[in-house]
Amino acid sequence: MKNSDEKIKNFQKYLKLQKIQAFAVMDYDSLNYLSDFHFSTQKDALLLITQTKAFCFTKELYAINLRKAAPYLTLIISLNPADIVKKVKELKIKNAAFDPELISYIPGNMFKKAGFIEMTGEISKLREVKLPSEISKIQKACQISAKAYEIFRKKLKAGITEIEAAKMLEEIMFSLGGQGLAFETIMAFGSDGANPHHVNSKRKLKNNEPVLMDYGCKYGDYCSDITRAFWYGGKPSKEFTKIYDIVKSAHDITLKSAKIAMSGNELDAVCRNYIEEKSGLSKHFIHSTGHSLGIAIHEAPFVRINSADILRENSVFTIEPGLYFEGKLGVRYENTVLLTKTGAKILTK
């Protein structure tokens, strides 16, 4: 995989269109996204993108690698946001901008004082539509996680703890080419599944109980996200089967209904209304229907109540209805999908 400046170029087109001469970038995801380079932490670099250049403020530690991997970046050895302000002055730039939701309080105030303007959501808008190079990385990450499920099912044995099972699943993903985790694996046995963001414990798997696993890996810095719930050993309880069927059908119907130009709210309503009409259980569906993912595991467009975000061609998002019954069980079914002209296609397969 060769690093590319295609995303910087896209952003520069955007800046020209908006008549913005420069944009200051400091959040981790945007840094890695725009630079197409993997920084270890948020504190390792700052970017100042002008209409023609991309300045990368970073540490000496990264310079050696960056010179080779990302020759399209102009390196400045400093991590002080004041040097961004200095550069902007030096270039005689009159309208520089920053995103108030993506910049910390102190540098935000510094930029504001220097006359920068606030523009919300510019980079995330760019990220909403995935480029072919991004889709192929997400697809690979999705295939790895889907394949890992099959292998995991064959290896799973009663007596294993949630922590051990999560580790086993993660190792399967790594052996299939996964390069990191998209987020902390959720491995919930029995009633633990009733907490959608359960933290794995030493609870041991017993015969005849449900398992809920929500996980994903990274490939080339891009995420996948998948959830499977199933009954371990014997015959599923009637209650589990009933809930599973509702959740799975809600997922299938939402998948079929997803279309370009729909809002996140509209698609969420399809899922939520179906559950309510079918079972009257929608108050147990205590989270959103889905979220987009890419370089970050949660990004716009969001598929949730009140979301005006528009689903576009080549948006990649999850469809993940779930029903939770405290002290008893939880069921969630999730796939990562790609929105195309002919509808949503499952990537996690």
Partner 1 sequence: MPKLDASKLSALKTLLKKNKLDGLIISDVKDLKYILGKNIFFFQNEGILLAYDKGLYLAARSLYKIPLSSEYPEIKIEGFDYCRENKIIETAKKLKLKNVAFDFNKEMYYSGKAYIKAGFKEFASLIASLRVSKTETELEIMRRSAKIVYGALPYIKKLLKIGVTEKEIAAKLDDYMMSKGASGTSFTTLVSFGPNGANPHHMPGDFKLKNNMPIMLDFGCVYQNYCSDITRTFWYGNKPSAEFKKIFDIVKTAHDKAAKEAKYGMTGAQIDAIARSQIEAAGYGKYFTHRTGHGIGIEAHEEADISRLNKNKIGLNYCFSIEPGIYLEGKFGVRYEDCFYMTKNGTKILN
- Please identify, using beta-carbon distances, which residue of 174 and 230 lies nearer to partner 1: 174
Cα–Cα distance measured from residue 338 to residue 56, given in angstroms and rounded to the nearest whole number: 32
Binding site for partner 1 (CB under 8 A): 40-41, 59-62, 64-65, 98, 100-109, 112, 120, 163, 167, 171, 174, 180, 183-184, 194-199, 286-287, 297-298, 304-306, 324, 326
Question: Which pair of structure tokens corresponds to residue 59?
Answer: 């540490």
What's the min distance (Å) between Cβ of 299 and partner 1? 11
Q: How far is the CB of 132 from partner 1 (least distance, A)?
A: 26
CB of 155 to partner 1, least distance (A): 16
Q: How far apart are CB 326 and partner 1 at their closest, in Å? A: 6
C-alpha pair distances (Å), 180 with each of 106, 141, 220, 238: 31, 10, 9, 37
* Residue 247, H or E segment: helix 238-257
Query: CA angle, 298 as apex, 230 and 103 as ends, to 5°?
Result: 155
> What are the DSSP calls for 16-72, one per residue?
HHHT-SEEEE-SHHHHHHHHTS--SSGGGEEEEEESS-EEEEE-HHHHHHHHHH-TT
Q: How far is the CB of 345 from partner 1 (least distance, A)?
A: 27
Q: Which SS3 state, helix, strand or coil, does residue 111 take?
A: helix
Rounded CA gap, 51 and 20, in Å?
8
Q: 12 or 307: whose CB is closer to partner 1?
A: 307
Q: Measured from the CB of residue 176, what is the shortest distance to partner 1 in angstroms?
A: 14
Comparing CB distances to partner 1, the nearer of 18 and 65 is 65
Order of all β-strands in the sheet with 74-77: 74-77, 54-58, 45-50, 22-25, 96-98, 117-118
Compute how many other C-beta atoms are within 10 angstroms of the C-beta atom of residue 312.
Answer: 16
Name, in order, each residue with C-beta under 8 angstroms of 60's C-beta and a sequence gap of 6 or more: 77
Q: Which CB atom, from 183 or from 230, has the smaller least distance to partner 1? A: 183
Which CB sits closer to partner 1, 94 or 105?
105
Indicate the residue among 209 and 225 with the shorter CB distance to partner 1. Answer: 225
Task: Give backbone dihedrals phi and psi of 215, rounded to 5 degrees, phi first.
Answer: -160, 170
**H or E element that contains 116:** none
Q: How far is the CB of 97 from partner 1 (least distance, A)?
A: 12
Least Å distance, CB 108 to partner 1, is 3
What tokens appear for 180 in the block?
Answer: 């990191």
Compare residues 217 and 338 and give the one whose CB is closer to partner 1.
217
Nearer to partner 1, 234 or 327 (CB): 327
| DSSP state string for 190-224 | GGGGGSTTPPP-SPBP-SSEEEEEEE-EEETTEE-
